[in-house]
Structures are given as C-alpha cells and as structure tokens.
C-alpha cells in the first residue's frame, strides 16, 4: 500500500524534470537548413556564400527571396546571368547581406517610410546600404536601391530572429562589380583588396 504513493510521486517528479529539460533545451539554429526546408534553396545557398549564421540569442531580420525571385533576377542588372547567382560568391554574399537587418522586426514593427540599416553597412561596393519600408493598405514592401520586394509571408521565427519571405531579390548596386568582401579591417586600418578573384572564374577546387 505504501509503495503506490511513492511510485506515483516518482512518476510525477520524472514528468516535471522532463518538462524542465524540454524548456531549457537550447534553440537550434541552422539557417541554411531551415531555408532549404522552406523550399528557399537559392536563399540557402546565398547565406552560405555570405557566411551568414545565426546564434541562439541573435535578434536579426532576414528578408529571404523566393526561388522564383532569383530566377526573375536574371537580367535585372547588366550582365547578370543565372550562373552569376550560382557561382559569384562575393557578389551574392553582398546581395544577401543587403537582405539582413541587425534587429528583430516582426511585421507589426515595420512602419511606413522607416529606413532599415543592413549588414553590408559601409562595405557596400557602391555606398547603398539601407532599405526603406513602404506600406500600402495591407501590403508591406521593402524598397532597395535598385529593386523593390513585397513581403509574401511574414513572421517566421527562428530562435530570437525573424524571417520574412519576399518576392524579389533586392540589389544594393546597379551593376556587378568586384567588391571587398572581407568583414574585418586590416590591422593597419586600410581596406582589404577587392575580391576580384572571386568573380565567375576559376575551377571548383579554386573556390
């Protein structure tokens, strides 16, 4: 008779412990894998090219273009071909950083005419490094220097960060140019050399 209450108490303690363990489990961040699972394979490759990663405590916002957006981007810039988007790591890396904002912004936080700083900041090869929010009725658009994208799916949470899916690739610059894609300045404070060798040349082994 005495064993039954003890048995039930032990089960209760185990259940509580399991619940606490589940709540304390760290949020897993696999941005590339998440984008692939959402059928955003081109955006997934872009974040890999841009070496964009999210930690469990990061509070960032990514405007992730649909696959169709990358296909439609061909020809938007002079000389922009589909192979450029698949192989030009420096260019694609800059482009995807233009879609990343260093703060958590759900749809309700986006206000008309708000200017958003992006991750390329002063590394932009042409000086353009901000996005502008435009809201018309219930439509939220993100205006870049060259193109404008519409948010087609909002508020996808990944740990502390937010993803909004957009229908157009945003370009910071009106042309494809070799860019400085070194995120850290040299010890002497001078700029790194342009990443021209990362353009559409070389073998896979070279990359």
Q: Summarize pLDDT for 117-166 with one digit per residue, the tens.
A: 999 887 888 889 999 999 999 999 999 999 999 999 999 999 999 999 99
Q: Are 119 and 142 in contact (CB under 8 A)?
A: no
CA proximity to 40, closest of 11, 3, 67: 67
pLDDT band at 184 (very low <50, low <70, confident <90, very high): very low
Architecture of domain 27-171: Roll (2.30)
The whole-number pLDDT of residue 104 equals: 98
Rounded Cα distance between 153 and 142, Å, is 13
| pLDDT digits 0-9 by tens, 56-105 | 899 999 999 999 999 999 999 999 999 999 999 999 999 999 999 999 99
Rounded Cα distance between 180 and 176, Å, is 13
Could you state, in order of their start, the residue ranges of all structural domains in the chain?
27-171
CB-side neighbour CA atoms (13 Å) of 186: 8
Q: Give me the mean pLDDT over the 16-23 stretch.
A: 44
Q: Are 174 and 80 in contact (CB under 8 A)?
A: no
Question: What pTM did the predictor assign?
Answer: 0.75
Count, residues in the chain: 207
């Amino acid at each position: 008779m005495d064993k039954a209450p003890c048995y039930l108490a032990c089960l209760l303690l185990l259940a509580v412990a399991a619940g606490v363990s589940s709540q304390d489990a760290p949020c897993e961040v696999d941005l590339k894998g998440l984008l692939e699972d959402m059928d955003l394979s081109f955006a997934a490759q872009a974040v890999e090219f841009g070496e964009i990663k999210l930690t469990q405590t990061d509070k960032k916002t990514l405007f992730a273009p649909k696959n169709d957006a990358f296909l439609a981007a061909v020809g938007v810039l002079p000389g922009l071909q589909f192979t450029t988007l698949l192989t030009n790591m420096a260019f694609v890396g800059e482009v995807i950083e233009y879609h990343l904002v260093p703060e958590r912004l759900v749809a309700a936080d986006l206000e008309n005419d708000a200017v958003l700083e992006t991750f390329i900041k002063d590394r932009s090869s042409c000086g353009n490094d901000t996005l502008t929010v435009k809201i018309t009725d219930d439509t939220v658009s993100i205006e870049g220097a060259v193109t404008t994208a519409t948010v087609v799916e909002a508020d996808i949470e990944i740990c502390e960060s937010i993803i909004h899916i957009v229908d157009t690739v945003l370009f910071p610059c009106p042309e494809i140019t070799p860019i400085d894609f070194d995120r850290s300045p040299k010890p002497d404070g001078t700029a790194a050399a342009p990443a021209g060798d990362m353009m559409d040349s070389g073998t896979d082994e070279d990359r």
